Amino acid sequence: MKSQEITALQDVLGHAFQRPELLEQALTHSSQAREIEANNLAANSSGNAAFIGDNEMLEFLGDAVLGLATSETLFQRFPAFHEGHLSKLRAHLVGQRHLLRVAEQLEIGHYMRIGRGEEKSGGRRKASLLVDALEAVLAALYLDGGWPVARDFIVRVIVEPELAQMNLETSDIPVMDFKSALQETLQARGGPQPVYVLVKEEGPEHKKLFTVEIRVPLPEMEQCVGRAQGATKKRAEQDAARQVLEHLTALPESRHSKVKDDELEPTQRPSPAS
């Protein structure tokens, strides 16, 4: 990563890193790290090569920092809200869709270091890579500047702009975690919990496509079924849950029926052979 790019990103983040290597690691995907290691190993006659850090562990820490900063902000801002309302609001603010918008606004994809395979497959635009890199950057801010720097950035860039666009006087919060929302809906109806089944996995390792089916067995009725594809199992599960949730919430509580194939998006319809 060029020094001018590090400087430009620091300006965007509003923090001058004492240890810029943290920021560089936060933007290094494992594909790039393993590629560098392989090249170093091939060039080293001794057969040894130094380990190159990637952003996976930083992403793990950044997720926790994001969750705490968001929870603290909501706890302080809205003392009259009940726990369920706060939980839904937090789920929206830390959800992938919202974080993806933030990552795109910050142009994180431009600064990411990714391997050639990921580059060819459009890795700079992949939601999972962008969100992971953003969370890793939050960890880098925390490790370099401490809690105040990380919290202030999260509140200023991730939390406050979104809160300003929402009607917080109602509980009408956009659903981001469809799996949790579906579980709550089924519990409220006294129904069983959904079953997620991975029915297909295809494509090369760097460009996998997962097909997930969700089955909701309902007492004395046909089971509701949703089917979706995604670049990760998690995304496919979320989309399948969204289908069933939207279908159930459109029905009276006494009625449940199967989600028909023609209600699904074309790319999500089961193939005749499935």
Over residues 91-129, the pLDDT tens digits come to 889 988 899 999 999 999 999 988 888 788 887 888 889
CB 245 within 8 A of CB 185: yes
Percent of the chain with pLDDT over 70: 77
Q: Name the strand (E) or helix (H) holding 201.
A: strand 195-202
- Asked whether residue 112 falls in the same domain as residue 17, the answer is yes
CATH number at residue 95: 1.10.1520.10
Specify the 3-state DSSP secondary structure of 149: helix
CB 128 within 8 A of CB 51: no
Over residues 158-189, the pLDDT tens digits come to 999 999 887 665 545 666 667 877 877 777 77
The tally of domains found in the chain comes to: 2
| Amino acid 256: pLDDT | 41
- Asked whether residue 144 falls in the same domain as residue 187, the answer is no
Give the number of other CB atoms < 10 A from CB of residue 145. Answer: 20
* Boundary-marking domain end, from 119, 137, 163: 163
Domain that holds residue 85: 3-163
Distances from the Cα of 169 to the Cα of 87, 220, 266, angstroms: 15, 39, 37
Alpha carbon distance 76, 23 (integer Å): 30
- Asked whether residue 150 falls in the same domain as residue 239, the answer is no
- Asked whether residue 109 falls in the same domain as residue 234, the answer is no
Alpha carbon distance 142, 137 (integer Å): 9
- Asked whether residue 24 falls in the same domain as residue 52, the answer is yes
Distances from the Cα of 266 to the Cα of 66, 209, 229, 263, angstroms: 36, 16, 11, 9
- Asked whether residue 113 falls in the same domain as residue 249, the answer is no
DSSP lists the bridge partners of residue 216 as: 224
- Asked whether residue 198 falls in the same domain as residue 139, the answer is no
Specify the 3-state DSSP secondary structure of 214: strand
Which residues are marked as active site?
A: 63, 135
Over residues 198-229, the pLDDT tens digits come to 999 988 876 788 999 988 776 544 566 788 98
Specify the 3-state DSSP secondary structure of 230: strand
- Asked whether residue 11 falls in the same domain as residue 101, the answer is yes
CATH number at residue 216: 3.30.160.20
Beta 224-230 vs 209-216: how paired, if at all? antiparallel
Over residues 230-256, the pLDDT tens digits come to 888 888 888 888 888 777 766 554 444
Alpha carbon distance 149, 163 (integer Å): 20
